Structure 1
Amino acid sequence: MSDEWKATTAQGNDEVVESKAEAKSWKLLETTLLAGVQEQRRSRRWGIFFKSLTFLYLFAALLIFSPLMDFGKGASRKTSHTALIDVQGMIADKEAASADNIVTALRAAFDDEKTKGVILRINSPGGSPVQSGYIYDEIRRLRALKPDIKVYAVISDLGASGAYYIASAADQIYADKASLVGSIGVTAAGFGFVGTMEKLGVDRRTYTSGEHKAFLDPFQPPKADETAFWQGVLDTTHNQFIASVKAGRGDRLKDKEHPELFSGLVWTGEQAVALGLVDGLGSSSSVARDVIGEKDIVDYTVQESPFDRFSKKLGASMAERIAMWAGFGGPTLR
Structure 2
Amino acid sequence: MLPGDFSIDSSESEKHTALVRLEGVISDQSEASARLVVKGLKAAFADKDSAAVVLKINSPGGSPVQAGEIHDEILRLRNKYPDIPLYTVIEDICASGGYYVAVASDRIFANRASIVGSIGVLMNSFGFVDAMEKVGIQRRLLTAGEHKGFMDPFSPLTEDAKSHLEGLLHTIHQQFVDVVKQGRGGRLSDDQDLFTGLVWTGQQGVELGLVDELASLGTVARDIVKEQRVVDFTVSHSYVDRFSRSLGASISEPLVNQLRGESAFLLQ
Query: Which deviations, in whole Å up to 9, do the C-alpha atoms of 1:110-149 show, x marking residues without a partner?
Result: 1111000011111001000000000000000111111111
Provide the residue aligned with 1:191 in structure 2: 126
Q: Secondary structure at the match of 1:245?
A: helix
Provide the residue aligned with 1:263 in structure 2: 196
In the alignment, does 2:267 pair up with 1:333?
A: yes
Q: Secondary structure at the match of 2:149?
A: coil
Provide the residue aligned with 2:43 in structure 1: 108
C-alpha distance 313-98 of structure 1, shift in aligned 2 (>3 A): closer
After superposition, residues 157-172 of structure 1 pair within 5 angstroms as 157-172=92-107
**Counterpart amino acid of 1:157?**
D
Q: C-alpha separation between the residues in 1 aligned to 2:138 and 2:242?
A: 46
**Counterpart amino acid of 1:271?**
Q
Q: C-alpha separation between the residues in 1 aligned to 2:145 and 2:244?
A: 43
C-alpha distance 313-236 of structure 1, shift in aligned 2 (>3 A): closer
After superposition, residues 66-85 of structure 1 pair within 5 angstroms as 75-85=10-20
Provide the residue aligned with 1:149 in structure 2: 84
In the alignment, does 2:182 pair up with 1:247?
A: yes
Structure 1 length as normaliser, TM-score?
0.70
Gaps of 5+ in 2: 2-6, 250-265
Q: C-alpha separation between the residues in 2 aligned to 1:117 and 1:199?
A: 61
After superposition, residues 1-334 of structure 1 pair within 5 angstroms as 75-254=10-189, 257-305=190-238, 308=241, 333-334=267-268
Structure 2 length as normaliser, TM-score?
0.87
The answer (yes or no) to whether the contact 2:8–2:230 under 8 Å persists in 1 is: no
**Counterpart amino acid of 1:299?**
D
The answer (yes or no) to whether the contact 2:17–2:225 under 8 Å persists in 1 is: yes
The answer (yes or no) to whether the contact 1:76–1:298 under 8 Å persists in 2 is: no
**Counterpart amino acid of 1:249?**
R
Q: C-alpha separation between the residues in 2 aligned to 1:148 and 1:195?
A: 60
C-alpha distance 213-159 of structure 1, shift in aligned 2 (>3 A): same
| Alpha-carbon offset, residue 201 of structure 1 | 1.6
Gaps of 5+ in 1: 1-65, 67-71, 317-331
Q: C-alpha separation between the residues in 2 aligned to 1:79 and 1:151?
A: 19
| Alpha-carbon offset, residue 308 of structure 1 | 4.8
| Alpha-carbon offset, residue 217 of structure 1 | 1.1
More strand by share: 2
Query: Which deviations, in whole Å up to 9, do the C-alpha atoms of 1:147-196 show, x marking residues without a partner?
Result: 11111111110000000000010000011000000000000011211111
Q: C-alpha separation between the residues in 2 aligned to 1:183 and 1:215?
A: 28
Q: C-alpha separation between the residues in 2 aligned to 1:136 and 1:315?
A: 29
Q: What root-mean-square deviation, in Å, do the aligned CA atoms of Structure 1 and Structure 2 show?
A: 2.4
**Counterpart amino acid of 1:289?**
R
Q: Secondary structure at the match of 1:259?
A: coil
Query: Which deviations, in whole Å up to 9, do the C-alpha atoms of 1:7-41 show, x marking residues without a partner?
Result: xxxxxxxxxxxxxxxxxxxxxxxxxxxxxxxxxxx
Q: Percent identity?
A: 53
| Alpha-carbon offset, residue 73 of structure 1 | 6.3
Provide the residue aligned with 1:15 in structure 2: none
Bigger relative contact order, structure 1 or 2 (CA pairs below 8 A, ≥6 apart)? 2
| Alpha-carbon offset, residue 298 of structure 1 | 0.1
